[in-house]
Structure 1
Amino acid sequence: MRAEYVEAVLDVVDLIPAGRVLSYGDIAALLERGGPRQVGAVMSRHGSAVPWWRVIRAGGQAPLCHEAGALDHYRREATELRGQADGGAWRVNMDLARWTPSDADFDLIDAIAARLHTAEGPASDAENPGTGKAAPAMSEPRDGLGA
């Protein structure tokens, strides 16, 4: 995995505020590169230095094998949860906890993505495996991240 992609993913994760989350796919869409699996690979190998618990599966499930640690963080940050976090089945409430970046945040995200795009060149289908198309334009996630 290219160092530029790793850096870009981690830079976006650093922007997610306490109590908010994004899915792996949300981050890929914001960067217009890769997909959920590529973002997940970055997080599994390099995510310990950033707030990793704020990057979750699209269904609201915490990162695999880190559910207990993530739950501690979610409780401290007052992240909206569904279900019974006291021993029962639970997940993050994506409707309430998904981060919607402000215009200023999008400016930062656009700068991160532009730096990545300059380093890697134009997107291609090969960089977005399994989609059959190039990544969505930055304007698409703004209207409803992960919708």
Structure 2
Amino acid sequence: MTDVHDPATRSRNMAAVKARDTKPELMIRKALHAAGLRYRLNVRDLPGKPDVVLPRYRAVVLVRGCFWHRHECDLFRRPESRTEFWREKLNANAARDAKAAVALEMAGWRQAVIWECALKGRKKRDFQDTMQRLIAWIRSDEQAITIGGE
């Protein structure tokens, strides 16, 4: 039996968390490609390394996990152990997101944020409707869109 309080075990568990190519991200990318939209992935030159970058439309799509990016929804549960660590970690993530959003806007990039709760959980949205909204936004001139669960 592994000890979850052992730093080596905790490190292995954290290493299993994917930063890219997550299931929600893959779903969105597949739908965008099927709609004829071409994109680049995790462009390092842009603030926050956005998940999907559509240069033709000067738009980025950020697929955010509700826990890691502190989205106050049904999928977010504040950890009950090591509360100080998690509070600092999640606050730092949110601050980093905000800083990247401002930098992207200043550089002239439009931003879409798709929350994990829009794609899974009790309050998920219809996927086809979500993708139609996202694709319509990409092709529009609107500066930003945020899609979360219902």
| TM-score, normalised relative to structure 1 | 0.28
Q: Which has the higher helix share?
A: 1
Q: Which has the higher contact order (CA 8 A, sep 6+)?
A: 1
Q: Which has the higher strand share?
A: 2
| TM-score, normalised relative to structure 2 | 0.28
